[in-house]
Amino acid sequence: MVDALRSARSALRPGGTLIDLRPDASRPPRLIVAGRVLGRLAGSAASQVDDTAADGAVRSLVAAGLLRRVASGHLWYSTSYASLAEVDAYVRVGRRFDRYERGSRAALLPFRRGPIVARRSVQFEVLQRVR
């Protein structure tokens, strides 16, 4: 990740802007039915390692004075699944989320025919090349 950020930075002119967008591990995806949050998905160990490395890469370039943080935050987006079986398939084959948080799948069973909406958070940082 550090190498990717360094490459992106090298393509910028001094004062140029880089927008870094990555999964927000601090806000687990919410599973919503009819406007109510009924459960959450849990991140895999591999995704936690990736997230920690990505956060560290940004911190290291900012600390080195190569990039300056201009703004940061998070935004939410939604993905709709037609049924619980579709959410199960996503959890089964996905790398980022490998299980439901305790009690979440059981809470979704009465609504197995869906639709079920997963609301996920993404964090962003607007960075500026310093030199």
Quick: pLDDT tens for 18-54: 999 998 888 999 999 999 999 999 988 888 888 888 8
The 3-state secondary structure of 115-128 reads CEEEEEEEEEEEEE
Q: Residue 33 CA to chain centroid, in angstroms?
A: 21
Quick: pLDDT tens for 45-72: 888 888 888 888 888 889 999 899 999 9
Q: Where do the structural domains in the chain lie, given as residue ranges?
A: 2-129
Selection from 23, 29, 36 nearest residue 101 by Cα: 29
